[in-house]
């Protein structure tokens, strides 16, 4: 006798689609009962920003350690990276994703009116055992970061960040959140990235074949000179785009190692 397994496919928090006004709200997003019960939080630990000019949402959720996630009109999630560094005596990467219990990370609404929403995200650059990198022997302070998202009614946001206690770090890495049972190609087209520069030149890049020689942090093959604008070709009407300061280095990261 075959029976259905007791486990069900989990879904990332479902964001109500009916809020068609511009503004931010504190809330408590639900995932599934066993996961929800683990958290020692109040009734308002998360933030959702809605728009009257776009069907997407911007979500700051404890389940992704409060980085800003764009949730598209068809329920697809894409997140980003925090400041990331290494450090002597730490295990793995020191970044927001290592802070699984959000011991250090938190968000708060600074402004919330018709002109804009401002959300402050503060976090430590810690490893998976919650050790903060860059600890000063005298003061005891390690590496921390403050980020401010200036969010406007047309669903455009300006990200301002300041990192303390480390000399250099990576800061951005668009990341699709695959639902259980999904593959990357369920959410991102094979021609995954479209880049442009300030001269108006445009070039697209595919992940089949992988667009560099497979080395970690190697540049794109046929890289577009001066590229500082990037569109992720997400399978949604609302596609995330990023405009970086001129001089930013944009590379594909990981994967694609050739035999």
Over residues 59-82, the pLDDT tens digits come to: 999 999 999 999 999 999 999 999
pLDDT at position 36, please? 96
- pLDDT tier, 18 (very low <50, low <70, confident <90, very high otherwise): low
Over residues 19-61, the pLDDT tens digits come to: 679 999 999 999 999 999 999 999 999 999 999 988 899 999 9
Task: Write down the number of H helices and E strands in the chain.
Answer: 1, 14
Look at the alpha carbons of 57, 61, 66, 72 in this order and tell me if their dihedral is positive or negative.
negative
Please tell me which residue, 228 or 259, carries the higher pLDDT value: 228
pLDDT at position 217, please? 81
Please tell me which residue, 156 or 6, carries the higher pLDDT value: 156
Over residues 211-239, the pLDDT tens digits come to: 988 887 889 999 999 999 999 999 999 99
Assigned token pair, 157: 């946001």
Please tell me which residue, 197 or 253, carries the higher pLDDT value: 197
Neighbours of 165 (CB within 10 A): 20
90 pLDDT above the threshold of 70: yes
In three-state secondary structure terms, 83 is coil
pLDDT at position 143, please? 96
Over residues 93-146, the pLDDT tens digits come to: 999 999 999 999 999 999 999 999 999 999 999 999 999 999 999 999 999 999
- Alpha-carbon Rg for the chain, nearest whole angstrom, is 19
- pLDDT tier, 4 (very low <50, low <70, confident <90, very high otherwise): confident
1 pLDDT above the threshold of 60: no
Assigned token pair, 15: 């964001």
Q: Is the Cβ–Cβ distance between 68 and 59 less than 8 Å?
A: yes
pLDDT at position 44, please? 97
pLDDT at position 16, please? 73
Assigned token pair, 171: 């800061």
Strand partners, 202: 196
pLDDT at position 105, please? 98
How does the average pLDDT of the chain come out, rounded? 92
Look at the alpha carbons of 127, 163, 78, 220 in this order and tell me if their dihedral is positive or negative.
negative
Helix (H) or strand (E) holding 144: strand 144-151
Sheet of strand 23-27, all strands in order from the earlier edge strand to the far edge? 23-27, 46-50, 57-60, 68-71, 77-79, 175-177
pLDDT at position 216, please? 79
The pTM of the full predicted model, rounded to 2 decimals, is 0.92
Domain boundaries, the chain: 23-164, 184-243
How far apart (Å, rounded) are the C-alpha atoms in residues 248 and 63? Answer: 29
Over residues 138-187, the pLDDT tens digits come to: 999 999 999 999 999 999 999 999 999 988 788 888 999 999 889 999 99
């Amino acid at each position: 006798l075959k029976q259905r397994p007791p486990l069900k496919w989990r879904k990332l928090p479902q964001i109500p689609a009916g809020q068609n006004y511009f503004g931010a709200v504190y809330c408590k997003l639900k995932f599934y009962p066993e996961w929800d019960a683990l958290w020692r939080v109040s009734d308002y630990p998360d933030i959702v920003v809605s728009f009257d000019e776009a069907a997407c949402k911007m979500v700051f959720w404890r389940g992704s350690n409060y980085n800003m996630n764009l949730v598209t009109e068809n329920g697809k999630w894409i997140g980003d990276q925090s400041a990331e560094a290494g450090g002597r005596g730490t295990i793995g990467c020191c970044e927001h994703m290592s802070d699984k219990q959000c011991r250090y990370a938190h968000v708060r609404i600074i402004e919330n009116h018709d002109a804009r929403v401002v959300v402050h995200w503060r976090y430590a650059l810690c490893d998976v055992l919650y050790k903060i990198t860059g600890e000063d022997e005298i003061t005891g302070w390690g590496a921390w970061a403050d980020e401010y998202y200036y969010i406007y009614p047309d669903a455009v946001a300006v990200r301002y960040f300041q990192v303390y206690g480390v000399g250099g770090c990576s800061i951005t890495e668009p990341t699709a959140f695959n639902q259980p049972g999904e593959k990357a190609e369920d959410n991102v087209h094979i021609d995954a990235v479209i880049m442009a520069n300030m001269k108006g030149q445009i070039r697209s890049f595919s992940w089949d074949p992988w667009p560099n020689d497979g080395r970690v942090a190697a540049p794109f093959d046929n890289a577009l000179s001066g590229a500082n604008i990037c569109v992720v070709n997400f399978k949604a009407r609302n596609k995330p785009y990023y405009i970086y300061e001129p001089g930013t280095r944009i590379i594909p990261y990981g994967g694609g190692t050739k035999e």
